Amino acid sequence: MAGLAESGSNPDVDLLYDINGLAKQAPRWFDRVMEFVGEYGLLLAMVLLLLWCWWSVRRRGGEDAASSVAALVWAPLAAGLAVLVNVPIRGFVERPRPFVDHQGIDVLVTGKTDYSFVSDHATLTMAMAVGLFVASRAFGLVGLGLALLEGFCRVYMGVHYPTDVVGGFALGTAVALLLSPLAMALLTPLVRAVEHSPRAGWLVRARGARATGPLSPGTRTGAAAQERDLAA
């Protein structure tokens, strides 16, 4: 893959120069903003989005609260697992960073000496975005947008090829989706146990939030009888 990157006719390299070229034209202060956003800001935003989704789920309650919280627990676990899977991939591919093989790359973050394929940042954000999407479609779409922006930033900063980002997206999605059934089967019972805990139940469902969905006919009959007794 490193050999392909050296070819000037490679669209991967052409797109790298096109996107990274924007950094050369932008004001220095904007590059500093992109450096922070691409290195730390979007990862922090993704964590805050996960917390916001958790807060929304627990306040809403409902019969699916436990499974939704389990999906939110799985999101960072999937991201961490995907990064671990990336370790042997990087060692096998051994693709140098773009600025090693190509001249004229505007590198916004120095000190990157490890291999380029695949992008850890793209892997992390996409795995968390997919986990978010399992828990909540609305929050998941926002997470996917953040992940795409992260991928753009990594190329803009000159530290990754576009295919490094695409590979990270694919890896994060594969780990989060393929292992999701097993993860949910293990995590959901644990979260349900926490939900029914007197002390820790607030982590899954806020006090006062409804615990179940619509009442069954039998439950409605019992509730109506109780109301009649109270009225009497």
CA 197 distance to own-chain centroid: 29
Position 212 scores a pLDDT of: 45
CB 187 within 8 A of CB 70: yes
Give whole-number Cα distances, 225 to 211, 222, 231, 232, in Å. 21, 5, 10, 11
Position 208 scores a pLDDT of: 60
Position 15 scores a pLDDT of: 92
Position 214 scores a pLDDT of: 40
Crossing angle for the helix pair 180-195 and 120-135, to the nearest 10 degrees = 60
For residue 118, what are the domain limits? 2-231
Position 114 scores a pLDDT of: 87
Per-run averaged pLDDT (10 residues), the chain, 232 residues: 50 91 90 93 95 87 82 94 94 90 86 89 95 90 96 94 96 95 92 83 69 42 42 42
Non-local (6+) Cβ contacts of 106 within 8 A are 20, 21, 23, 24, 31, 158
pTM equals 0.81
State how many domains the chain has.
Answer: 1
Residue 53: closest CA among 41, 64, 69: 69
Looking at the chain, which runs of residues are DSSP E strands?
none
